[in-house]
Amino acid sequence: MRIDIITVLPELLRSPFEASILKRAIEANLVEVHFHNLRDYTSDNYKSVDDYQFGGGAGMVMMIEPIDKCISKLQAERNYDEIIYMTPDGETLNQSIANEMSLKKNIIILCGHYKGVDQRVRDMFITREISIGDYVLSGGELGAAVLCDAIIRLVPGVLGNETSALTDSFQDNLLAPPIYTRPRDYQGHKVPEILLSGNFPEIEKWREEQALKRTEERRPDLLED
Ligand code: ADE
């Protein structure tokens, strides 16, 4: 899988890809992530990427030309399955979107800044608009990092234990059950007996019950459909 991220702040994006699972995935050539600085696609001496809004109003708008140049250059090199714009008015990211995106071959992620991009960028190039939640960030970069993390850990081969993504919270619309490790007794707080029993069918049943209980208590909305 290849991910191309278009941004005015590449430095804000680097560190998540230089640590842990994302770093390993990149080093193992399971994913390629490329950053494109929008200022490299500007045509004036000031390297402007934004301008005032037509019609007036506070806040700058990202101009179409540098974005067009960058996307067109990438599209001339390969086909893209999805061109995603990170924006608070997009569809809210969830596990099912992450699953779907992890199956794509090439995607572009455009990070918005200021008030956002000229509407014509969205009309002409964008195939999907994604928000990471109902709050406004100062730019799309942190959202893009969240989206990439959620996608990349699902790419086959990225997680050491192939089954572990399947038992994540949300993967079957349930939250994950409680988990424990050594010691069996910590200052009188004991690990549930069933987990020490070696009776794996019963352990599996207990985990399913606990997952359902947790979901009912914390996220009943997940059980609605
Ligand atoms: N850019 C600004 N706010 C955002 C959000 N909530 N999700 C994605 N991109 C954003």
Q: Residue 113's pLDDT band (boundaries 50, 70, 90)?
A: confident
CATH number at residue 196: 1.10.1270.20
d(CA 61, CA 53): 6
Encoded tokens for 225 = 């459909």
**Mean pLDDT, range 8-23, rounded to an integer:** 93
How many C-beta atoms surround the C-beta of residue 47 within 10 A?
A: 14
Is residue 176 within 8 A of residue 184, CB to CB? The reply is no
In a domain, 46, yes or no: yes
Which CATH number does the domain housing residue 67 bear? 3.40.1280.10
Q: Tens of pLDDT along 119-130? A: 999 999 999 999
The finding on whether 137 has its CB within 6 A of some atom of ligand 1 is: yes
Distance in Å, CA 156 to ligand 1 centroid: 27
Domain hosting 109: range is 2-152
Same domain, 145 and 177: no
Q: Are residues 140 and 195 in the same domain?
A: no
Residue 10 confidence (pLDDT): 96
pLDDT digits (tens, 9 = 90+) for 22-51: 999 999 999 999 999 999 999 999 999 999
- Tokens standing for residue 33: 């992530």
Whether 114 maps to a domain, the answer reads yes
Query: What is residue 4's predicted lDDT score, i.e. its pLDDT?
Result: 98
Token pair in block for residue 217:
């208590």
| Domain match, 195 and 133 both | no
8-state DSSP, 91: E
128 and 213 part of one domain: no
> Exposed (0-12), middle (13-18) or buried (19+): which is 27, by Cβ within 10 Å?
exposed
- pLDDT for residue 166 is more than 80: no
Bond from prior residue into 177 cis (ω within 30 degrees of 0): no
Task: Work out which ligand 1 atom sits closest to the CA atom of 86.
Answer: 9
Chain-centroid distance of CA 203 in Å reads 32
User: Quick one: 44 and 144 in the same domain?
Assistant: yes
Cβ of 135 less than 6 Å from ligand 1: yes
143 close to ligand 1 (CB < 6 Angstrom) = yes
Binned at pLDDT 50, 70 and 90, residue 138 comes out as very high
For residue 66, tell me if it sits in a domain. yes
Give yes or no for residue 182 having a pLDDT over 70.
yes
Do 64 and 129 belong to one domain? Answer: yes
In this structure, what are the phi and psi dihedrals at residue 7, rounded to the nearest 5 degrees?
-155, 155
Lowest mean per-residue pLDDT among 73-77, 161-165, 207-211: 161-165
Query: What is the per-residue pLDDT for 163?
Result: 63
Residue 160 lies in a domain: no
| pLDDT category of residue 162 using cuts at 50, 70 and 90 | low
Query: Which is it for strands 106-111 and 82-92: parallel, antiparallel or unpaired?
Result: parallel
How large is the average pLDDT for residues 77-94? 98
- Residues 88 and 186 occupy one common structural domain: no
Which of 152, 180, 206 lies at the terminal end of a domain, its last residue?
Answer: 152
Considering the domain architecture, whether residues 90 and 20 belong to the same structural domain is answered as yes
Same structural domain for residues 116 and 207? no
- For tokens 């790419």, what's the residue? 155
Taking the C-alpha atoms of residue 137 and residue 49, their distance in angstroms, rounded to an integer, is: 19
- pLDDT band per the 50, 70, 90 thresholds, residue 165: confident
